[in-house]
């Protein structure tokens, strides 16, 4: 099977097995602040196990496509959300679990205004901005233990530019 993976636009449906897409799409769940704000309420399945929630800022180096994917990782003890601090698209790579190792990955490119929440234990590529500044708020577990399982991909996959879904 080909080791080339074409990225696709990020959608709730496509990402559903792996977590949630954070986006202000459709009508808000609530109108607040005397009608001046729409609240898209409680949109992520946060899970921090025996730890606690933390918000960190990640300043990541932008990459360009095509990209060589040689590492996937997961956090067995908690979910991890990436909220971009700007409108620039970023690359999201996830993979199903196949008996304790990653299966064939899927690649998505976000639209402006989209973030993601990775479900606890989901295999994923590390944070990969595609444009500067590469600044993200990250909501994940703060607690004891490593909470990081890495898996080397050999031979690596090649992630290519976006294709439009059929
Ligand atoms: N290791 C770390 O904090 N970041 C990764 O988990 C990542 O997904 O980028
Ligand atoms: Ni991670």
Give the atom of ligand 1 at the shortest distance from the alpha carbon of 127: 9
Q: Say what the pLDDT of residue 165 is.
A: 52
- pLDDT grade, residue 1 (50/70/90)? confident
Measure 147 CA to ligand 2 centroid, in angstroms. 9
- pLDDT grade, residue 31 (50/70/90)? very high
pTM over 0.90: yes
Closest CA to 115 of 146, 80, 145, 141: 80
Here the ipTM equals 0.90
User: Cα(95)–Cα(87) distance, rounded to whole angstroms?
Assistant: 25
Domain chopping of the chain, boundaries: 4-161
Q: What is the pLDDT of residues 50-65, one digit of tens each?
A: 999 999 999 999 999 9
Q: What CATH architecture applies to the domain 4-161?
A: Sandwich (2.60)
Choice from 61, 126, 145, 151 to test ligand 1 binding pocket (greatest atom count within 8 A of CB)? 126
- pLDDT grade, residue 162 (50/70/90)? confident
Q: Which has more pLDDT, 42 or 164?
A: 42
- pLDDT grade, residue 164 (50/70/90)? low
pLDDT at 12 over 60: yes
First-to-last alpha carbon distance for the chain, in angstroms, is 20
Q: Say what the pLDDT of residue 84 is.
A: 98
Q: Which helix (H) or strand (E) holds 83?
A: strand 80-84
Measure 127 CA to ligand 2 centroid, in angstroms. 7
- For strands 80-84 and 115-118, give the pairing: antiparallel
| Average per-residue pLDDT for the chain | 96
- Ligand 1 pocket, residue 126 CB under 6 Å: yes
- Give SS3 for 29: coil
């Amino acid at each position: 099977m080909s080791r080339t993976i074409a990225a696709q636009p990020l959608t709730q449906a496509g990402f559903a097995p792996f977590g949630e897409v954070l986006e202000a799409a459709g009508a808000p769940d609530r109108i607040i602040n005397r009608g001046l704000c729409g609240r898209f309420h409680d949109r992520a399945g946060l899970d921090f196990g025996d730890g606690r929630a933390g918000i960190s800022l990640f300043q990541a180096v932008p990459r360009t496509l095509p990209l060589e994917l040689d590492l996937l990782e997961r956090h067995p003890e908690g979910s991890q959300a990436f909220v971009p601090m700007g409108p620039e698209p970023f690359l999201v790579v996830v993979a199903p679990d196949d008996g304790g190792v990653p299966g064939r990955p899927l690649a998505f490119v976000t639209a402006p205004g989209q973030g993601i929440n990775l479900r606890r234990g989901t295999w994923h590529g590390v944070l990969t901005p595609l444009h500067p500044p590469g600044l993200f708020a990250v909501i994940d577990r703060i607690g004891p233990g490593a909470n990081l399982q890495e898996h080397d991909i050999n031979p690596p996959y090649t992630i290519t530019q976006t294709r439009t879904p059929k």
